[in-house]
């Protein structure tokens, strides 16, 4: 007898590969490969923004954390729509005055420093490895629950599939598969919630049962307040200035498109987060003894939902992971090729050589997390906490030089470099040795601001050519 | 004060939880009689110092639970019942030895054909998510038509002379079994099938909408 779940999964992946192959045919230039030709409309642009944001961190990680600590984690999610507002209102208008292929390229132009660009590339590589690791772990869990595969085998298969279609298609493959994945995520989540609620006598029945079986889950003190606030800060800062989101501003054709696209992303992301919140509570009632909260969503998809809906939901979860990872792989590839290799070592490198280096970078960044997992790094840690660590590294490294670069004319390259290095180092050291009640993003962010301001003020002011393109209102496209 | 008490209980429970784990669960459910008989086995890893544990089960309207016995390694355990609103708590204690695998027998009388049969759960985390972590065997009359609502996993039906057995495996312990028994023929189409087809049609519809508006969506 044919396994229906297997057929649905294979069908989905075949569709994704088809999109990757078509995108390869449509990719004519470097601009097409890195930023989809900079001509995306609001529909696909907003969808790709939402899909990139909504990863395993949402479907598995958020549900996993709420399952483990209760609904107090919901406070952290409020920062997400705030971040999107900040992106549209503050960042995008000036940031997109000059289109670049990568975020570190912006750092080079704004601060007139190849070193700043190179450091940005290195930070991206390090943080990307951490984040992809979380997604691969989630891929292994899904494979374990759905197909009964050993989690490690599932992780390997997941990594291989991902590398194939990212290597082939570039950004065009990424944005069009993002659109497909967003549709699946939205429909899957909307259908899943009422089906799950049917088993627990509706929303009021659910809350009653949660209060009985896990009374602390409905207490707002599930996580210490300081930790909640600092985690929220990590989400906010990371949502604003992480490269894989910011680069999508370049992919959309003008400010009007950006506003509409981000509005769509806010609606989708907020809606999905509210719905997964309910699914998390339902999983507490239906499966109170899971070995890890990260299994909550795969179990709901496998044992609560009808076959097609459950499988599509798992496809949506897999989609969410893949859309995030492929975006990050692309960013990492461009970081290695453009920001490190071409920028620092081989300025005369041809386009084909740079593309080859990028693809090698994608391979390396895709495989290193897998090897890291096999060696036992972050074993037993909830997926969402690995995701937040990535967000913290990116936030501490990029928020200040990116946002500061378009708000403060006096900012210098020394300030930007000090900000990035200080922010990331402090975040890493705090994670390893600091107070666990204060999330590392806070000290990292404070050090990055301090370094940015102090080093800028005590070094020579930048030339007008560095900041003028971003502050000249006449060149702002609409 | 309430929060302090809850936090204290939480940490006290966590201490016990940290000392034990649930290796697996199996349940034999016999629906062939007037009342449903359940034999649930909890496979536990517990340190020698633990001489009592608490299990709990949801109370559903129309399902009345009666505890019969509990034993561990041949020893009959002391049962102490406590009912709070919505939940039945049972404290199982050993007098002579240590607790290992516990066989828990209880009976459920159901008032309606559509019912939820609770399973007893613990506060221990599961040791794994293997496909056969929870094994369920349901015995019923051969002619009985039924529909399994939760957990909705693949199942095997073995038909005997006068009885049939439904076997299924789940990677985690569900808190209840949701079923509907039919006095006549089973419904031709279940709600889950309708939902599946509806969702498939929605995706097809969305696909057409995207195709016919592809340029607008892609390029604005």
Which of the residue ranges A324-328, B16-20, B164-168 would you say has the lowest mean pLDDT?
B16-20
Min CA distance, A125 vs chain B (Å)? Answer: 30
Pick among A26, A303, A315, A316 to test the B interface (most B CBs inside 10 A): A303
Are A289 and B121 an interchain contact pair (Cβ–Cβ within 8 Å)? yes
- Please compute the mean of the pLDDT values over residues B108-115 and round it to a whole number: 91
Nearest CB to A187: which of B124, B170, B199? B199
Pairing of strands B87-93, B78-84: antiparallel
SS3 content of chain B, % helix, strand, coil (to 5): 20, 45, 30
Residue-wise pLDDT for A232-256, tens only, equals 888 888 778 777 777 777 777 778 8
Distance CA A332, CA A123 (A): 10
Q: What is the pLDDT of residues A111-141, one digit of tens each?
A: 999 999 999 988 888 888 888 888 888 778 7
How many Å apart are CA B48 and CA B79, to the nearest integer? 19
Q: Token digits for A426?
A: 């402090």
A217, pLDDT greater than 50: yes
Q: Which pLDDT score is estimated for A286? A: 95
For residue B17, pLDDT over 60 is answered with no
Can you tell me the distance from the alpha carbon of A119 to that of A117, in angstroms, rounded to the nearest whole number? 6
Mind spelling out the 3-state secondary structure of A188-239? HHHHHHHHHHHCCCHHHHHHHHHHHHCHHHHCCCCCCHHHHHHHHHHHHHHH
A473 DSSP 8-state letter: G
**pLDDT over threshold 70, residue A230:** yes
Residue contact A145–B216, C-beta within 8 A: no
Angle, helix A413-433 to helix A441-457, in steps of 10 degrees: 160
Please check the confidence at residue A473 and state whether its pLDDT lies above 70: no
pLDDT level of residue A33 (50, 70, 90 thresholds): low
Inter-chain touch B7–A41, beta carbons under 8 Å: no
pLDDT tops 70 at residue A55: no
Alpha-carbon distance of A46 to A32, in angstroms, equals 18
Q: Between A114 and A46, where is the model more confident?
A: A114
Cβ pair A291:B126 closer than 8 A: yes
Residues of A in contact with B196 (CB under 8 A): 306-309
Question: Residue B89: beta bridge partners?
Answer: B56, B82
Q: Please report the ipTM that was assigned to this predicted complex.
A: 0.87
Q: Give the residues across from B41 on adjacent strands.
A: B26, B103
| B72/chain A closest Cα distance in angstroms | 21
Q: Please tell me which residue of chain A has the smallest CA distance to B194.
A: A306
* Mutation choice for A interface testing from B119, B121, B200, B219 by most A CBs within 10 A: B219
What's the number of CA atoms in the CB half-sphere (13 Å) around residue B48? Answer: 2
């Amino acid at each position: 007898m044919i396994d229906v779940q297997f057929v649905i999964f294979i069908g989905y992946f075949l569709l994704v590969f088809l999109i990757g192959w078509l995108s390869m045919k449509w990719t004519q230039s470097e601009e097409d490969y890195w930023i989809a030709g900079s001509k995306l409309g609001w529909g696909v642009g907003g969808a790709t923004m939402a899909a990139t944001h909504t990863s395993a961190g949402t479907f598995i990680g958020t549900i996993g954390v709420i399952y483990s600590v209760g609904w107090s984690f919901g406070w952290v999610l409020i920062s997400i729509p705030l971040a999107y507002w900040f992106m549209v209102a503050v960042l995008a208008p000036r940031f997109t005055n000059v289109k670049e292929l990568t975020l570190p390229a912006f750092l080079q132009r704004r601060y007139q420093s190849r070193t700043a660009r190179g450091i940005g590339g290195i930070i991206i590589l390090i943080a990307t490895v951490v984040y992809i690791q979380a997604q691969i772990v989630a891929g292994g869990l899904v494979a374990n629950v759905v197909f009964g595969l050993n989690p490690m085998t599932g992780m390997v298969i997941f990594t291989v599939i991902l590398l194939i279609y990212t290597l082939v298609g570039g950004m065009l493959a990424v944005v069009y598969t993002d659109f497909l994945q967003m549709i699946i995520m939205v429909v899957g989540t909307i259908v899943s919630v009422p089906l799950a609620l049917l088993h627990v006598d509706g929303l009021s029945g659910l809350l009653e049962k949660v209060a009985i079986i896990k009374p602390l889950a409905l207490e707002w003190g599930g996580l210490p307040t300081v930790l909640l606030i600092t985690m929220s800060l990590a989400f906010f800062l990371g949502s604003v200035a992480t490269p894989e989101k910011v680069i999508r501003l370049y992919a959309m054709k003008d400010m009007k498109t950006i506003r509409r696209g981000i509005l769509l992303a806010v609606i989708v992301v907020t809606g999905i987060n509210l719905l997964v919140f309910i699914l998390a509570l339902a999983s507490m009632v239906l499966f109170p003894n899971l070995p890890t909260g990260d299994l909550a969503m795969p179990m709901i998809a496998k044992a609560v939902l009808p076959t097609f809906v459950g499988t599509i939901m798992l496809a949506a979860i897999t989609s969410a992971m893949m859309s995030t990872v492929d975006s990050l792989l692309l960013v990492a590839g461009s970081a290695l090729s453009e920001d490190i290799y071409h920028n620092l070592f081989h300025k005369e490198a041809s386009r084909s050589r740079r593309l080859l280096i990028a693809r090698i970078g994608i391979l390396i960044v895709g495989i290193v997390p897998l090897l890291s997992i096999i060696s036992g790094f972050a074993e037993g840690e909830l997926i969402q906490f690995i995701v937040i660590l990535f967000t913290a590294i990116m936030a501490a490294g990029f928020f200040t030089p990116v946002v500061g670069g378009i708000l403060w004319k006096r900012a210098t390259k020394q300030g930007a470099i000090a900000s990035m290095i200080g922010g990331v180092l402090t975040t890493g050291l705090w994670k390893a040795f600091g107070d666990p009640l204060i999330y590392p993003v806070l000290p990292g962010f404070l050090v990055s601001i301090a370094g940015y301001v102090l080093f800028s003020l005590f070094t020579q002011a930048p030339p007008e050519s560095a900041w003028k393109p971003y502050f000249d209102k006449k060149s702002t496209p609409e | 004060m309430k929060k302090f008490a809850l936090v204290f209980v939480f940490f006290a429970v966590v201490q016990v939880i940290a000392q034990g784990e649930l290796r697996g669960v199996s349940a034999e459910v016999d629906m062939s009689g007037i009342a449903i008989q359940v034999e649930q086995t909890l496979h536990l890893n517990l340190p020698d110092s633990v001489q009592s544990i608490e299990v709990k089960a949801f109370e559903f309207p129309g399902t009345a639970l009666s505890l019969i016995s509990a034993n561990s390694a041949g020893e009959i355990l002391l049962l102490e019942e406590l009912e709070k609103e919505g939940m039945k708590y049972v404290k199982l204690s050993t007098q002579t030895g240590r607790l290992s695998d516990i066989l828990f027998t209880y009976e459920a009388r159901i008032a309606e054909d559509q019912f939820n049969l609770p399973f007893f759960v613990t506060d221990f985390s599961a040791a794994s998510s293997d496909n056969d972590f929870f094994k369920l065997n349901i015995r019923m009359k051969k002619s009985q038509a039924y529909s399994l609502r939760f957990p909705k996993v693949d199942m095997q039906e073995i038909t005997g002379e006068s009885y049939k057995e439904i076997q299924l495996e789940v990677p985690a312990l569900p808190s209840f079994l949701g079923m509907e028994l039919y006095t006549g023929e089973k419904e031709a189409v279940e709600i889950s099938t309708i939902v599946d087809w509806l969702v498939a049609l929605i995706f097809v519809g969305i696909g057409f909408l995207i195709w016919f508006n592809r340029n607008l969506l892609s390029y604005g």
